[in-house]
Structures are given as C-alpha cells and as structure tokens.
Chains A and B, each alone.
Chain A
Amino acid sequence: MSIIGVREYSNIGSIKGPLMVVQGISDAQYNELVEIELPNGERRTGLVIDAGMGSAIVQVFEGTSGISPSGVKARFLGRGLEVKVSEDMLGRIFDPLGTPLDGGPEIIYGERRNINGEPLNPAARQYPEEFIQTGISAIDGLNSLLRGQKLPIFSGSGLPVNQLAAQIARQATVRGEETNFAVVFGAIGVRYDEALFFRKFFEETGAINRVAFFLTFANEPPVKKILTPKTALTLAEYLAYEKDFHVLAILIDMTNYCEALREISASKEEIPGRQGYPGYMYTDLAQTYERAGIVKGKKGSITQMPILTMPNDDMTHPIPDLTGYITEGQIVLDRGLYNRGIYPPINVLMSLSRLAKDGIGEGKTRDDHKDVSNQLFASYARAIDLRGLAAIVGEDSLSEVDRKYLLFGELFERKFITQGVTENRPIEKTLDIGWEVLSELPESELTNIKLTYIKKYHPLYREKK
C-alpha cells in the first residue's frame, strides 16, 4: 500500500449490522485497517470494504453493538490487516490479531505481513511427491498424503475426528529424514474443551514447543473467526518459505468458518447463494486452501489438513462440496463404520488423495503399492455393492465368488482399516495386510495386479518360498 498517514474522523453516518459508514473521508483505502475508539475508551478494529468520495463503509470485527454514532472516533491507519509473525510464536497461543492468549509476552521482533497473503505463482510451485507416512493404513495404503498437499478430513458431528487428527499429527513422518517440522494450528470458533484436548495432547507428546496455536472460541464475533485461518497460514508461509520449516497446518473447524462467512454476508445484505452461503464462498475458501504447497528453491513446505463437519453427514452440502472442489482430495469419516466400532471410521471409497500417484510405488513406498491399492479399491467397491444386494435377496442367492467378496469386505474393514489409536503401521505392514485380505479372493479376480507382484507378494507364493 502506498504510504499514507493516520487520519481521524468522528462523523458516523449510519450503523447497520457489523457495518458503519464514516462520513467526510475521501481517501480511505480499500481494505484499510481502521481503529475505532468508543467514548468509554474501548477500542475495536475494522476494515474498509467500500471506499467512496466523502464516505467509507467500515466493517467492525467485534460487531457494532454498543456503538452510537456520537462520540465515536474512527482512525484510518494507512495500512492493511497485518500481523507480526516470527519463529517465537512456536509454543505459544494467540488470537487472530496476534495478541497473546497464554499470558506470555507480545511478539516484538517479527515481520509484519498482510494476513490475506498473495497468490502463489503456479510457475513457482514445485509439484509434491514425497510420501508422508501417517501410520494409518486407510490413509497410507489407499489415500496417501504427500508433503505439500492440502487434504481435508470431512467428519460428522460426534465422530472421532479430533482423535484422528491428533494421531496423524503425532505419527506423520517422511521416512529416513530428520526434519525441521512445525505445526500451525488454527482453531476456528471451537468449544473450550476441544481447544483443551489439542493443547493437552501436544503437551503430553512433548511437541508443544513446535506448535503455534491461533484460537477463537465459538462465542466470538464472526469476523474474528474469519481471520483465524488467515493468520495461521500467514505464519505457516513465513515459517515454510523464510525459515525452512516443514509445516503441518491444521484448521479446525472450517464449518464454523463458513458459517461465520454466511453470517457476515447476510448482515451485509448480499444476495445469498445455495443454502444462504455467499456466491463467492468458493473463491474465499480457495484463498485459504491454496496457501499450501512447496516452492521451487525453498526448503520448507506447507501441508494443510483442514477439518470440517458435514452438516447432517451430507457430503453435497455446500461446505464439504466447495472444499472438495478446491482441495487435493478428502478423507471422509463414516457414521456406519463408527457405529460398528471401527476406528478410524474412514470410508475409503468416498475418500481420495489426488496426489498419491506421484508419491507411491517403486523407490518411494513399495513397488506393488499402486497395484495393491487399485485392487483393494476395486474389490472393496464390489464387496460393498454385493453387501447391499445380499441385504435384499439374501446371501444364499449369491454365487460362490460373490460370497467370497462379502467375506473379503468384512476382513478388509476389520483387519486393514481397523487399528488402534496409538498403532503406527509402517507402509510395508499396511501393504502386507492388504495382501492378506486380498488372498481371500480367487487369484483370477486380482486383475488389477501385475503377475510379477502376485508372484512376489501374494501369501500363497510367499509361503512356498
């Protein structure tokens, strides 16, 4: 932004929802930061969202309740929404404006950065291809996560998503590499107990000094929720691209973010889109989710794991839908599996990792990985199909091969997907379990696997050796 000093105005035209019209100003900058001082000395923050000749519309972060047009001072600060970021933020807790929430000192030495970030030049990106082992078979084996990927978890209310996220954060490693890693955690409009769960978890695992928390609670004003992931990712970018950290950015819960966005949009009387969410939600979310990846010539990276709750478990709801259209796949949790006592309750067929293809296979995980994964998908899909059929016509009216598929499906869920909350499976173990359950099927059904791998890994031939 161009250099311009602080200007102060006290003529407030109208106040409506979170918006306040300041009269008399003719040089307000679009997206300029405004400090608002109430007669009682209270200070609030706002942003110029419409700059005109002689007036400017300011959106007040904390809301306008308690503001009356007289006696209010609006100071236009001549800069955008910036936060100081620094390595010292690791191990600490902040609100989205960078104010400490842990009783510790303010960040004094840091780089001021606009929290909206800038779009990464596609020509500057480096394509992700390093496999991250999460130790979770349903992810590593079938929907592998790569370093620099943005892979969300779609959950339903009450499903154990926090536990899964914590397990991933604890177990995730790039094998054979000691890394400079950090976790940036954006907790958006969460409940107090959720925030506490993660904090305790990181304390117990001794990782707390590598974690920076940005926190807004459920009862805070919507604009603060909107800022939370932006500030978190601003620090993530700083750590990754200036300080060589491999950052895992966890954002929880993006549903709260979207609801805040809807609330703000409604109060601005914008034309609502599907289910009341604003038409620009896709672009808005993209500006958050696209802040992940690897940059050529930089040592660090940002791997992003946003977490969201699907309202009514509905994946076509605008929040998961628009997210899926932006992220590089999704891990979907399933209530049916959860009710049957399966942890982690990952629905592998609805899940997807778009980048997996470039990070698995020979020289990366194991030569048979792609084939085994294709086969498990194909066979499990068939099993699920037949399970539905068997429920209607009875198992007896299925053919012998079909019945084998049913058994396979059951074993796949019990042995391959199911694992303990602290069980950390190496990828070889995951693939071996895959072979074990596949061997329930006749060999002629394994058409997705090359014969050489069958000879090399199929339990039948391994035993013979």
Chain B
Amino acid sequence: MNEGKIVRVNGPLVVAEGMQNALMYEVVEVGEYRLIGEITRIEKDRAYIQVYEDTSGIKPGEMVYRTGSPLSIELGPGLLGRIFDGLERPLDGILELSKSPFIKRGVKVNSLDRHKKWYYKPIVKKGDTIEDNDILGTVQETELIEHKILVPPSVKGKIIDTVEEGNYTVDEPIATIDMNGDRKELYLMQKWPVRIPRPYSEKLEPTEPLLTGVRVTDTIFPMAKGGTAAIPGPFGSGKTVTLQSLSKWSEAKIVIYIGCGERGNEMTDTLTSFPKLKDPWTGKPLLERTILIANTSNMPVAAREASIYVGITMAEYFRDQGYDTLLVADSTSRWAEALRDLGGRMEEMPAEEGYPSYLASRLAEYYERAGRVRTLGKPPRYGSVTVASAVSPPGGDFTEPVTSTTLRFVRVFWPLDSSLAQARHYPAINWLQGYSAYVELVADWWSKNADPKWKEYREYMVKTLQREDELRQIVRLVGPESLAEKDKLVLDVARLIKEAFLKQNAYDDIDAFSTPQKQVRIMKLISLYGQKSQELVEKGISVKRMNEKITIVTDIIRSKATIKNDELEKYDELEKILLKQFEELSKEV
C-alpha cells in the first residue's frame, strides 16, 4: 500500500499528496502519532482527510499511511457492558493503558478483548452448507444475552471443519469453510463498514409497542419496536432524562446509548448507575444488555460524526441475531453540527444556516436504518432496531433545519416544552403538539394484555386535555370563576390527568417505572372520576363542593409514587373509597 505525504494541516482537516489509488472513505493513519483519519475527498493524487484526533503538532512532510479499508468496527462477544468512543475504542481499555485520566492521542487498543475466552457452543456441523447470517453457534455473553455467532454477510460455503464446544478467544478460528474452492476461516468476531447498512431479507411494518414504563410515552404517544422517534427540546427540558429512562426501562433486549457531543458526567452517570439497576422485565443488571458510546462535547468533532454510524451498526448486528434493539442518540444536533464544521473546512457550499446541503439525506439514511426486519440466514428470525434521538434546537426554535428536517423522517414526536419544564412538570412532553403514528397499531396489544378499554381511556384523557386548552384561552380573558360548572369540571379533570398520570418523576424509586397494568389502573380511576363527577355536576353539585368531598383524589395523585407495580390490588381500595365518596355526595343532590 503506498504512503502519502502531508501538505496541509488545518484543524481536523489534513491534505496529503501521493495518494494515488486511495479510496473514498478509506481509513488512514496520519503523521508520526498515527492519528486515525478517513478520506472524505479525492482530487487527483491529493486526498482530503478528516482526522478523528487532535492534530496539534502535526506538520507538513509527515507521512500518511493507508489501510485499504473503510471505517469498520469489530462485532462479536465482548461489546455488552462496555464503553467505547466514537470509533469503537474502549474507553475503559484506554484508561488502563494510558494511566492518565485524560485521553491521549494515537492510543491503539483493540475494540474486543483478544485474551478473553468465551464458551462457544457450535450449532453447525461439518458438511453443512452455510450462507450469510446463518447462526454458527452461541456464546452466553452475559446472564441476559445469548450472543449468536453469525456468518458474516456475503460469505457462503460448505463447512470443512468446526471446533468442539469450548473456550475460544474472538480471533481463534471456530470453523473453516470451503468458499468456491477457497478455504476461509470464521471467528467469533466479524467486521463491518459502519457507513453501509447491514443487509436483511425483508423490512416489515412494526406491530408491537416498545414499552418504556414512562406513562406518557407508552399511552399518549406510544413507540413501536422498529419505530423512530425524535425528542426535541431546549436545554434543560428533559431530553437526556427521557432517553435515559427509555434505555433503563424499555423492553428492548439490547440498548445502545450514544452520547454524541454531550456531557462527560452524563456518561459517567450511566456507567455508574446501570450496574446497580435491574432490568424490570428480567431482573438482571441493566448494564448486561447495554453498550455505551461516548464522544463527549470536548472530544474531537470528527469522531462525533462517526459515532452515530458505529452505534447503528452495532444495533443492526444484534438485530441480525434476532433481537429487539434500541438505539438512543443524544444528540443528533451535535452530529449535524459536526457535519457542518467539517463541510465548512472542506469549503463546501453551505445550505440553510451553514449546514451542508446533504444534511437531509444523511438524516434520512440514518432513520432508514431503523425498522423491524426478517433477517437473512437460518434459522428464520425477526429482529428490530428502534431509534430514538434527541434534537437540541438553538434557542428552542423548532423551525431550525435539524429539527424541521428530522420531523420528516420520524413517526413519533415527543416535543419538550420549556414552560412545562420550568414548572417542573416532567416529562415535559407537550401533550397537544406531540404525535405518534403507532397508536392504532399498539391499541390491539394493550386491549389484549392490559385492559380492553385502554383506547377508550386514552381518548378520554386526550380529549379532556384538548378541551382544557380551549377553555384556558377563555379563562385568560374572564377568569376561572365565570366558567360554567361543566367547564370547570374539565379543568379539574385535566389537572388530575396531569398530576396523577402525565407527571412522572424519573428519580422516584416507585414512580420511575410504571408497568402497563399500573398505567391502566390509574387511567381507569381517572375515567371513573370524570364520569361520576360529571353525573353529579349535571345534577347541580358544584365543582367546589366536589373538591371538598372527594378527598381521595389526593391519594390517587400520590398513588403513582406510593403504590408499587406489584401491589396493584391497592388500587381496588382507592376505587372503593372513590365510589363511596361519590355515593355520599350524591345524597346532597
């Protein structure tokens, strides 16, 4: 492979000469430190290189070394529970090696540990014919996850040799195949170029909800396995906390959390809290199903751009094993800014607000990699990649390019509202502006598994909230006291919906996670309250009198944080008292 010579260094952009035959998106090593870079433009024998590490001290005349391959990552046992940077370098490994709390440049550490032995159980036998994405065997990687060892895409052939069940490292051969007359060895590990989507057999519509344990994102604007969601909001409105809740409590089998240009402490928070938390669906430590990718705001900008692709490739790899995976990216705005920064240095023509003209197509490609699929390979299986991304609009302005473009590609929209956040109404998802294309689709699941009336309850709540908004406009003109009693009641019920159902404290041990069963219990009480009180108001009881007499409402509001998911029978008691208080009150008619 020929080497080139640096002729220019301008921040993360390095230009090198003598790069005949270099490939677009080829990875190169730059200068004496052998910094990692990627070729993003070629003009004759000149290559423009985007360098993923700080280029201070690099000078013209130093060499550029080609690798011949595009930016690829290692996929295999040993990903789960780890923290990587935007190029899949293990940050825990770097910490150990560099003996410094700071990230040094040019450190080379393998993504997957080469020494660790994994207990591999082969499924295929000598003589079997295998092809793309067949399951060769399995490794119980964590208590929670059985890692399926896959035939790499576009590999086919007949097995001429396979190892016995036993302990192997990721780079010891576990099978040998005859591929068109050539011998080819297969390993526990494979590589994949991150900018290319992994192949699948067929894309399907989502059918099941992705339960999150967060009431508003389960019931009002539900998510589906294989769906796409965006959560835009100004700073401090709750994007990260919501995404963290999702990665903690959602029913996904595998969670990949990308901290893209955000805070260092947020990654540390996840890294320290996850091992102590239990997955509510399985009771196992959460970190066993989680992979963290951290390219914090103070780390080199170019690697921020790559981190998104690294994360989604990992998600696809687990999808191909037949798992439901969730990819969480915080924040795609920082990724878009990295595109802008790099585009600017390449002197590309900017489009809206300085972003490159290909912003929309990049976003589209990214969301397009989500979905539920029938995978390639034997045995037949289904998997999904669900994508939920934060968007951080400057000044909270949703008309800016990244937010408005993102909206075209996602099917669930959880807009955060600064006025709700300031009033500490969390999650601050605006219930009037939010949107989910999956309501119909998940209604079926809810009625079968939680309560046949789920949809009815949901609609009652949504309608009440909409009506409340209309009434609030009137109240702003004439004050609440001049409203008709039945309208006052709407305000009263809306308040109950907000306090008892929508507000959810992510930091309260009990409230943080609501099972579907608990959610419908609260919904049922709200709907019961609404129905009974309306009857009485129609018979002339004032809302004020009702508030005095129906004191159990306070306990209903408190119940989200007092009644645990496994003691829902306590709701029977609340329901009984509620009915009794209404009965008492009805005597006053």
* Residues of A participating in the B interface, judged by any CB pair closer than 8 Å: 1-2, 4, 26-32, 49-53, 80, 114, 116-128, 241, 270-271, 273-274, 279-280, 282-283, 286-287, 290-291, 293, 295-296, 298, 316-318, 321-322, 324-326, 328-330, 349-350, 352, 354-355, 357, 370, 374, 377-378, 381-382, 385, 389, 392-394, 397-399, 402, 444, 447, 450-451
Evaluate contact between A393 and B477: CB separation under 8 angstroms: yes
Could you say which residues of chain A place their CB within 8 Å of the CB of B476? Answer: 389, 392-393
Query: Please, which residues of chain B bring their CB within 8 A of the CB of A382?
Result: 423
A4 to B354, CA, bound (A): 38
- Contact indicator A51/B8 (Cβ below 8 Å): yes
**Bound Cα distance from A328 to B272, whole angstroms:** 18
| Pair B264/A53 contact, Cβ less than 8 Å | no
Please name the residue on chain A nearest to B10 by beta carbon: A50
Contact indicator per residue, chain B 227-241, by CB within 8 Å of chain A (1) or not (0): 000000011100000
Closest to B90 in A: A123
Residues A123 and B479 in contact, CB atoms below 8 Å apart: no
Q: Chain A contacts of B71 at CB under 8 A?
A: none
Sampled A-B contacts (14; CB under 8 Å)? A31-B57, A49-B11, A51-B58, A52-B8, A123-B83, A124-B95, A125-B267, A241-B101, A282-B337, A290-B298, A316-B395, A381-B422, A397-B481, A447-B499
Identify the closest chain B residue to A375 (Cβ): B424
Known A-B contacts A123-B83, A392-B477, A398-B479; A349 and B422 likewise in contact (beta carbons under 8 Å): yes
The smallest beta-carbon distance between A232 and chain B, in angstroms, is: 16
In the complex the two chains form, what is the Cα distance from A350 to B237 in whole Å? Answer: 11
Q: Are B60 and A121 in contact (CB under 8 A)?
A: no
Q: For residue B395, which residues in chain A have a CB less than 8 angstroms away from its CB? A: 274, 316-318, 321
B475 at the interface (CB under 8 A from A): yes
A381 CB to nearest B CB, Å: 4
> Is the pair B236, A122 in contact by a Cβ cutoff of 8 Å?
no
Chain A residues, Cβ within 8 Å of B58: 29-30, 51
| Chain B residues with CB under 8 A of A270 | 344
Chain B residues in 8 Å Cβ range of A49: 10-11
- The reply to whether A27 and B91 contact each other, CB–CB distance below 8 Å, is no
B95 lies within 8 A of A355 (CB) = no
Interface pair B264/A122, CB less than 8 Å apart: yes
Identify the closest chain A residue to B557 (Cβ).
A447
Most chain A CB neighbours (cut-off 10 Å) among B100, B269, B479, B557 = B479
Known contacts A27-B60, A271-B344, A397-B482: does B95 contact A121 (CB below 8 Å)? yes
Q: Which residues of A sit under 8 angstroms from B83, Cβ to Cβ?
A: 122-123
Nearest B residue to A237 by beta-carbon distance? B102
B interface size (C-beta, 8 A): 78
Known: A119-B296, A124-B95. A293 touches B104 (CB 8 A): no
A21 to chain B, nearest CB (A): 13
Q: A122-B296, A447-B558 are in contact. Are A279 and B354 (CB under 8 A)?
A: yes
- A376 CB to nearest chain B CB (Å): 9
Contact among B8, B268, B340, B479 for A53, CB-based, below 8 A:
B8
Residues in chain B near residue A349, CB distance under 8 A: 422-423
Given contacts A28-B60, A293-B264, A329-B236, contact A121 B480 (CB under 8 A): no
Q: Which residue of B lies closest to A443 (CB)?
A: B554
Contacts known (A123-B271, A349-B423); A118 close to B103, Cβ less than 8 A: yes
> Which chain B residue shows the least CB distance to A353?
B236
User: Interface code B197-215, partner A: CB below 8 Å = 1, 0 otherwise?
Assistant: 0000000000000000000
- Which 10 A-B residue pairs are closest in the complex by CB-CB distance? A397-B479, A286-B297, A393-B479, A1-B57, A381-B423, A316-B395, A124-B101, A118-B102, A31-B56, A324-B235
Return chain A residues, CB-CB under 8 Å to B397.
316
Residue in contact with A290 in the complex, picked from B54, B60, B234, B264, CB distance below 8 Å: B264
Residues from chain A with a CB closer than 8 A to the CB of B480 are: 389, 397-399, 402
From the candidates A26, A121, A280, name the one contacting B101 in the complex (CB within 8 A). A121
With a CB–CB cut-off of 8 A, which chain B residues contact A389? 475-476, 479-480
Q: A321-B394, A349-B422 are in contact. Are A30 and B56 (CB under 8 A)?
A: yes
A114–B57 alpha-carbon span in the complex (Å): 12
**Which residues of the partner chain A approach B557 to less than 8 Å between Cβ atoms?**
447
Q: Which of A52, A293, A447 has its CB near the most chain B CB atoms (within 10 A)?
A: A447
Q: Which residues of B contact A120 (CB under 8 A)?
A: 101-103, 264, 298
Partner pick for A127 among B55, B235, B268, B507, CB 8 A cutoff: B268
Q: Is B299 an interface residue (CB 8 A)?
A: yes
| CB closest residue in chain B, given A376 | B424
Closest to B558 in A: A447
Least CB distance from A459 to B in Å reads: 19
Cβ distance B21 to chain A, nearest Cβ, rounded Å:
22
Kindly list 20 other residue pairs between chains A and B, CB separation below 8 angstroms, not including A271-B344, A280-B341, A450-B561: A4-B59, A29-B56, A118-B54, A120-B102, A121-B101, A122-B271, A124-B95, A271-B354, A279-B344, A282-B261, A287-B297, A290-B296, A298-B101, A316-B397, A318-B395, A326-B263, A357-B507, A398-B480, A402-B480, A450-B558
Measured between alpha carbons, how far is A455 from B392 in the docked complex, in Å? 43
Tell me if B9 is interfacial: C-beta within 8 Å of chain A: yes
Q: Are A118 and B104 in contact (CB under 8 A)?
A: yes
**B271 touching A52, Cβ below 8 Å:** no
B301 within 8 A of A: yes
Q: Does A122 contact B479, Cβ atoms closer than 8 Å?
A: no
* B265 contacts chain A at the CB level, 8 A cutoff: yes
Q: A377 to B264, Cβ gap below 8 A? A: no
As a 0/1 sequence over residues 10 to 29 of chain B, the CB contacts with chain A under 8 angstroms (1 = contact) are: 11000000000000000000
Expressed in whole angstroms, the Cα–Cα distance for A122 and B392 within the complex equals 22
Given the known A-B contacts A279-B337, A282-B337, A444-B551, are A271 and B350 also in contact in the complex, defined by CB atoms under 8 Å?
Answer: yes
Contact (Cβ within 8 A) A123 B56: no
Measured CB to CB, the closest approach of chain A to B346, in angstroms, equals 12
- Out of A29, A293, A330, A377, name the residue touching B265 (CB < 8 Å): A293
The smallest beta-carbon distance between B446 and chain A, in angstroms, is 27
Within 8 A of A (CB), among B546-573: 551, 554, 557-558, 561-562
Query: Chain B CB within 10 Å — which of A2, A32, A124, A291 has the most?
Result: A124
A residues near B9, Cβ cutoff 8 Å: 29-30, 50-51
| CB 8 Å contact bits of B477-520 with A (1 = contact, 0 = none) | 11111100000000000000001000001010000000000000
Our pick among A274, A326, A378 for the contact of B394 (Cβ within 8 Å) is: A274
